[in-house]
Amino acid sequence: MLHDTYQRTINYLRVSITDRCNLRCEYCRPKEGVSLKGHEDILSYEDILRVISAAVRMGLIKVRLTGGEPLLRRDFVDFVSRLAKIEGLQDISLTTNGILLENMAEAIYKAGLRRVNISLDSMNPDRYREITRGGDLKSVLRGIAAAEKAGFSPIKINVVAIKGFNDDEVLDFARLAANKPFQIRFIELMPISEVNTATQGCFLPMSVLRNKIMEHYQLEPLGKKKFISDGPAEIYRLSGGLGEIGFIHPVSSHFCATCNRLRLTADGKLRACLLRDEEIDLKKPLSASCDDDVLQDLISQAILLKPAHHDLDCTDRHLKKCHRDMSDIGG
Ligand code: SAM
């Protein structure tokens, strides 16, 4: 088992497989676009699989594929089937915006991936287009339906809560959780990089959403984590409903004490904390065909970089941000 300096078990790696995305969400990516990395600047699938295999031998059990938009990367399905063959890796999941999911869900499921999180900040087509700078809501809804049909379970829908933008849709999302076996997870907007200047003043603490939902629904807390993939969300069953509601509050009440994750960026940097800029480069040693010992030593070094907690505070006007955008790190 892997432990950091604060005795936390580290068993989860979030892997960004591309920095490219087919959306430009206002709080995630700069309007003018980002300078995209070339093929030679990002890790090959072979190198990603090498890192994951090395980490699994050290005690890693969970991997989440993210980006950018992971479904944009070529040969994704084949990559998943290779990943699913890594012995000892117990859980593989995916975070996607769902735009390309309709035509890929079945193949991804067959390749061995069972859990999917789909990002959806509004169920109003105009608003969705606005926040994503051009996204088509219907494609996402078709993607969700295809994931359901293919057999993905659980299907989690990630909703970043944005004051003045989607706070009036909270009950619509709760209704979706009542009618469908989905887990709707509201997430606090994090002030990452400079992109968030556009959304400053839009922070909405989870307590506000929870209280609003409780005026209309009975929420039964689900104490124990049901799935190995369940993360820091505070999860409730909607009484009488099919689905669940989760609240993720990294800002108003951080869960760093139970953080079990590392992140691998598309360009091969290991990050110990989403909100800290320290990184360990794996790309160079991988390109030089380093030994597994070297790789494992670098993974251990990254784990030792994990801070006790991040420095975000929603009441702090001079927020300490990390330099990279969320889409660049892999959310
Ligand atoms: N393209 C994929 C998607 O849309 O799900 C994966 C990458 S995206 C960066 C992963 C998640 O990060 C999305 O759910 C997105 O809403 C979330 N995210 C991005 N920036 C965020 C921020 N500043 N605060 C909270 N969540 C954020």
Separation of 47 CA from ligand 1 center, angstroms?
A: 24
Instruction: Report residue 247: phi and psi, to 5°.
Output: -125, 125
Q: What is the mean pLDDT of each run of 10 residues along the chain (331 residues)?
A: 93 96 91 81 97 98 97 98 98 98 98 97 98 97 98 97 95 97 95 70 92 95 64 87 94 86 96 90 98 97 92 57 75 73
Quote the pLDDT of residue 317. Answer: 46
Those residues with Cβ within 8 angstroms of residue 101's Cβ, 6 or more apart along the chain or in another chain: 71, 116, 118, 140, 142, 143, 144, 146, 147
Instruction: Tell me how far apart the alpha carbons of residues 80 and 295 are, in angstroms, rounded to a whole number.
Output: 22
Instruction: Tell me how far apart the alpha carbons of residues 330 and 264 are, in angstroms, rounded to a whole number.
Output: 8
Quote the pLDDT of residue 97. Answer: 98
Quote the pLDDT of residue 314. Answer: 54
* CA dihedral of residues 122, 256, 183, 21 (deg, nearest 10): 50
Q: Which residue has the tokens 């070529």?
A: 74
Separation of 163 CA from ligand 1 center, angstroms?
A: 16
- Whether 148 maps to a domain, the answer reads yes
Q: CATH number of the domain at 263, please.
A: 3.20.20.70
Q: ∠ CA(328), CA(25), CA(78), 5° rounding?
A: 55
Ligand 1 touching residue 217 (CB < 6 A): no
Instruction: Tell me how far apart the alpha carbons of residues 162 and 165 are, in angstroms, rounded to a whole number.
Output: 5
Whether residue 6 contacts residue 256, with contact meaning beta carbons closer than 8 Å, is answered with: no
- Whether 142 maps to a domain, the answer reads yes
The H-or-E segment that residue 117 falls in is strand 115-119
Atom nearest to 327 CA in ligand 1: 9
Domain carrying residue 143: 12-329
- Whether 2 maps to a domain, the answer reads no
Separation of 331 CA from ligand 1 center, angstroms?
A: 5
- Whether 3 maps to a domain, the answer reads no
Helix axes 137-150, 125-132, angle to 10 degrees: 100
| Domains identified in the chain, total number | 1
- Whether 6 maps to a domain, the answer reads no
The two tokens of residue 191 are 């002030």
- Whether 26 maps to a domain, the answer reads yes
Ligand 1 touching residue 97 (CB < 6 A): yes
Give the E-state strand segments of 180-329 in sequence order: 182-188, 219-221, 234-238, 244-248, 261-264, 269-271, 279-281
Instruction: Report residue 25: phi and psi, to 5°.
Output: -55, 135
> Of the residues 69, 101, 128, 326, which should be mutated to test ligand 1's pocket, given the most ligand atoms within 8 Å of the CB?
326
- Whether 7 maps to a domain, the answer reads no
- Say whether 40 sits in a helix, a strand or coil: helix
Separation of 205 CA from ligand 1 center, angstroms?
A: 17
Whose Cα sits closest to atom 5 in ligand 1? 96
* This prediction's pTM: 0.94
- Whether 1 maps to a domain, the answer reads no
